[in-house]
Amino acid sequence: MTLDYPQLAQQIDALCHGETDTVALMATVVCEIHHAHPMADWTGFYRVTGPEMLKIGPYQGGHGCLVIPFSRGVCGAAARTGQVQLVPDVEAFADHIACSSTTRSELVLPVWNGQGRLLGVLDLDSNTEAAFTEDDAQHLAAILAAVFRDAA
């Protein structure tokens, strides 16, 4: 099953139109992506809550890690570098944090508002190796840029 990203983007845009509250946007976006992506076993946001610190935000799936410093893990790497982290095998990622023992691959995207402020990261985890692609990363980055453009 392939994901219809144009349809997903249109649906998210319709649901989020006019909203600027970051947490409300995160909750809606994560729900839509989680239920649309056939390989996503856990989908969530980690919010920037202090210097070099991420805390769990809205998510779908089992529990997540509550706090992740920028210096640790795949989410921390995305926040620290501002770069998408596409990890086909988490066992091969030197500083992977195992929030769930079943996670095998991850896609983590930094989330910026229109003023260039890092709001957090979007984390997609899968219990399947190499579950996410560059195509996923590009489409999701475009969706995030559109949704969070006017977020506070």
Q: Which helix (H) or strand (E) holds 67?
A: strand 67-69
- The backbone region for 73, taken as left when phi is positive above 0, alpha when psi lies in -120 to 50, beta otherwise, is left
Distance (Å, whole) CA 83 – CA 127? 23
Average pLDDT of the chain, as a whole number:
94
Predicted TM-score of the model (pTM): 0.95
pLDDT in tens, 71-123: 999 999 999 999 999 999 998 887 777 777 889 999 999 999 999 999 999 99
Q: What is the DSSP letter of 74?
A: H
Report pLDDT for 118. Answer: 97
Identify any residues that bridge with 67 across adjacent strands, giving them in sequence order: 55
pLDDT in tens, 26-59: 999 999 999 999 999 999 999 999 999 999 999 9
Q: Is the model more confident about 97 or about 147?
A: 147
Average pLDDT over residues 120-149: 97
Report pLDDT for 1. Answer: 56
Residue 2 has pLDDT above 80, yes or no: no
CA distances from 107 to 37, 89, 100, 111, 152 (A): 12, 11, 15, 13, 24
Report pLDDT for 102. Answer: 85
8 A C-beta contact, residue 41 and residue 102: yes
Q: Is the model more confident about 18 or about 152?
A: 18
Task: Give the domains, in start order, of the chain with CATH numbers.
Answer: 5-148 (3.30.450.40)
Report pLDDT for 98. Answer: 72
For residue 102, give both structure tokens: 């079943």
- pLDDT > 70 fraction of the chain, expressed in percent and rounded: 99
Q: What is the dihedral of CA 146, 130, 38, 77, to 10 degrees?
A: -40
Report pLDDT for 112. Answer: 97
